[in-house]
Chains A and B, each alone.
Chain A
């Protein structure tokens, strides 16, 4: 296990060096997206008003408040990614996103896109929204505001993480490996339990 501190947006080289199990923190640009953001993009054909190339995208529906026309954070946490698998290969392939951040992981289609285009899935610690919120320095822009809390958010972050490289650009998927390992151990555990 290696640890990395990166600056976002990421280059392909930044991402290709990461291996499943590594720990990452980063500074810079981070986009917030969720189910509705991507339904709006992919199913309803709206082009993002900002380039996502090289950027990380986090699965979130942030609690924000608008004070004198400026957005302030209340609580920003992360949701389960698996629901958004359908959109993820295109997010990577078509828009050049280099990292998807969430919890629970993505599936085979996304893993293939990560291998092909040089992207990773970074697992955040779910439930630790207090930490995540503190690491967000600014909400620089909310695009498609009518979709809030599932709009497109541009955050600036500092020391964001720790994030675990759960799916890398070389075909490894930590979730799958852990699951296979558990299933391998299961017969022995059944035997011990007498079931």
Chain B
């Protein structure tokens, strides 16, 4: 078998960052259109119009929708049929994110947490955020990318409830978190919710949730019903687009779950802004790259 050329991964990592910043996924556009159609508040209608104008300009001029280039997150899923070198993939993702920043060029939003010195690369120790997962039934390297802006990320919350608090504590926590976040996360975006796991896993689940296509439902009927219920509850607050009042406060609630400890009942909320940016590349063993969302 001939050696796989990992520069393909680097180029894909670069393209994925740029594509995510400039080209909003079709499911997000569709969800925004549906939201605009059901919105009755005249101020909110004007807000939606401005959003679509920004999307159109970004399409036409191949430019950034939002100036917040975020922190780069890559979720990698490797199929059993794909022969791979994990270190090479990790290094190339790092390099690709850096090259996107410097070659496009766009603002680097990464910084040292104490000195606050920005390396002007969008990366640095610990960045990009990379998750590896595996699939038994494919032969591809599947990379899902999301640049995460700070307006929404700063509104993240998690809480370790006890089993005695029950499911209702989780629902109340999600609703209260969203109400408290007000206009900050540029609503109406996706509300990502993690339930179960450990303290770190529960936030990862919430992040997985915001990276799902808008309008998708959790395959577990009980979880899907909870998504619908919370969506309705959040929209009933009247917070509206950009927190200025209106019928649509979220494009969707996405919940991801994992088994947890018998004494634990963890919940996390990770909010995504209305430009719910993401991009995807599926790389075949022969080096062919198929871009999508």
Residues of A within 8 A of B (CB): 1, 21, 23, 62-63, 74-78, 80, 82, 103-105, 123, 125-134, 161-162, 164, 166, 174-175, 177-179, 181-183, 185-186, 188-190, 192-195
Contact = CB atoms under 8 A, between A and B. Distances in A.
Contacts of A183: 179
A189 B175 contact: yes
Contact of A162 (B49, B64, B238, B243): B49
Given A125-B54, A126-B273, A166 B175 contact: no
A75 B63 contact: yes
Contacts of A80: 151, 184
A174 B57 contact: no
B127 interface: no
Interface string B60-71: 010111111000
B53 interface: yes
A131 B288 CA distance: 35
Interface string B225-246: 0000110010011111111110
Interface residues of B, number: 50
Contacts of B55: 130
Given A63-B67, A190-B172, A195-B168, A127 B244 contact: no
B237 A182 contact: yes
24 contacts: A23-B46, A74-B106, A77-B67, A77-B68, A80-B151, A103-B151, A103-B186, A104-B184, A125-B54, A127-B149, A127-B275, A128-B53, A129-B64, A130-B55, A131-B57, A175-B183, A175-B244, A178-B182, A178-B238, A178-B245, A192-B236, A193-B175, A194-B168, A195-B171
B293 interface: no
A104 B65 CA distance: 19
B243 A104 contact: yes
Interface in B62-108: 63-68, 105-107
Given A23-B43, A129-B65, A195 B169 contact: yes
Nearest to A190: B172
A162 B183 contact: no
Contacts of A74: 105-106
Nearest to A60: B67
A75, A80, A123, A183 interface centre (most CB from chain B within 10 Å) = A75
Nearest to B53: A131
Query: Which of A62, A130, A193 has the most CB atoms of chain B within a 10 A radius of its CB?
Result: A130
A130 B64 contact: yes
Interface in B234-291: 236-245, 273-275
A123 B46 CA distance: 12
A15 B230 CA distance: 40
B135 interface: no
A61 to B, nearest CB: 8
B245 A177 contact: yes
A129 B24 CA distance: 14
Interface string B150-185: 010000000000000000110110010001001110
A132 B57 CA distance: 10
A189 B237 contact: yes
Contacts of A182: 179, 237-239
A63 B107 contact: yes
B31 interface: no
A76 B50 contact: no
B175 A126 contact: no
A162 B186 contact: no
B47 interface: yes
A104 B182 contact: yes
Contact of B245 (A62, A104, A181, A195): A181
A112 to B, nearest CB: 20
A129 B61 CA distance: 13
Given A75-B63, A125-B54, A193 B107 contact: no
A76 B236 CA distance: 33
A179 B54 CA distance: 27
Given A76-B67, A103-B186, A175-B182, 14 more contacts: A78-B67, A103-B183, A103-B242, A105-B183, A125-B241, A127-B68, A128-B51, A131-B57, A175-B183, A178-B240, A181-B238, A185-B236, A189-B237, A195-B172
Nearest to B166: A195
A164 B46 contact: yes
Given A80-B184, A175-B183, A192-B233, A128 B66 contact: yes
A164 B107 CA distance: 27
Given A75-B64, A125-B50, A131-B57, A1 B183 contact: no
